[in-house]
Amino acid sequence: MNISGTTRVLGIFGCPVSHTLSPLMHNTAIEALGLDMVYMPFEVKPDNLADAVNAIRALNIVGVNITIPHKKSIIPFLDEISNDAKLIGAVNTIVNRKGKLIGHNTDGGGYIKSLGSELGFNVKGKNVLILGAGGAARAIAAGIAKGGACRIVIANRTVERGMSLADGFRSLFRDVEIIATGIKEKSLMRYVPDADLIVNTTSAGMNDKGGVKVPLKAVSTNAVVSDIIYKPRITKFLRNADKLGIRTHSGLGMLVEQGALSFKLWTGYDMPKDIVYKKLARKR
Kindly list the residues in this chain that would bind ligand ATR in the complex (CB under 6 A).
132-137, 156-158, 161, 183, 201-204, 210
Q: Which run of H or E residues covers position 63?
A: strand 63-66
CA 180 – CA 161 distance, rounded (Å): 9
Shortest separation between residue 209's beta carbon and ligand ATR, angstroms: 9
> In a 3-state reduction of DSSP, which class is residue 92?
coil
CA 12 – CA 229 distance, rounded (Å): 19
C-beta of 114 vs 201, nearer to ligand ATR? 201
Assess contact for 1 and 263: CB atoms under 8 A: no
State residue 40 phi and psi, 5-degree precision: -120, 145
Shortest separation between residue 10's beta carbon and ligand ATR, angstroms: 23
Q: Tally the C-alpha atoms within 13 A of residue 83's C-alpha that lie toward its C-beta.
A: 5
Positions marked active-site: 71
C-beta of 95 vs 136, nearer to ligand ATR? 136
DSSP one-letter code for 271: P
Shortest separation between residue 90's beta carbon and ligand ATR, angstroms: 8
Query: In the beta sheet, which residues pair with residue 80?
Result: 102
The neighbour count for residue 105, using CB atoms within 10 Å, is: 30
Query: In the beta sheet, which residues pair with residue 268?
Result: none
DSSP one-letter code for 244: T
CA 1 – CA 26 distance, rounded (Å): 12
> In a 3-state reduction of DSSP, which class is residue 80?
strand
Nearest of 250, 184, 243 to residue 219 by alpha carbon: 243
Shortest separation between residue 138's beta carbon and ligand ATR, angstroms: 8
Residue closest to ligand ATR (Cβ): 134
> In a 3-state reduction of DSSP, which class is residue 57?
helix
C-beta of 133 vs 149, nearer to ligand ATR? 133
Shortest separation between residue 85's beta carbon and ligand ATR, angstroms: 14
C-beta of 32 vs 163, nearer to ligand ATR? 163
Shortest separation between residue 210's beta carbon and ligand ATR, angstroms: 6
**Contact partners, residue 282, CB within 8 Å, separation at least 6:** none
CA 258 – CA 221 distance, rounded (Å): 28
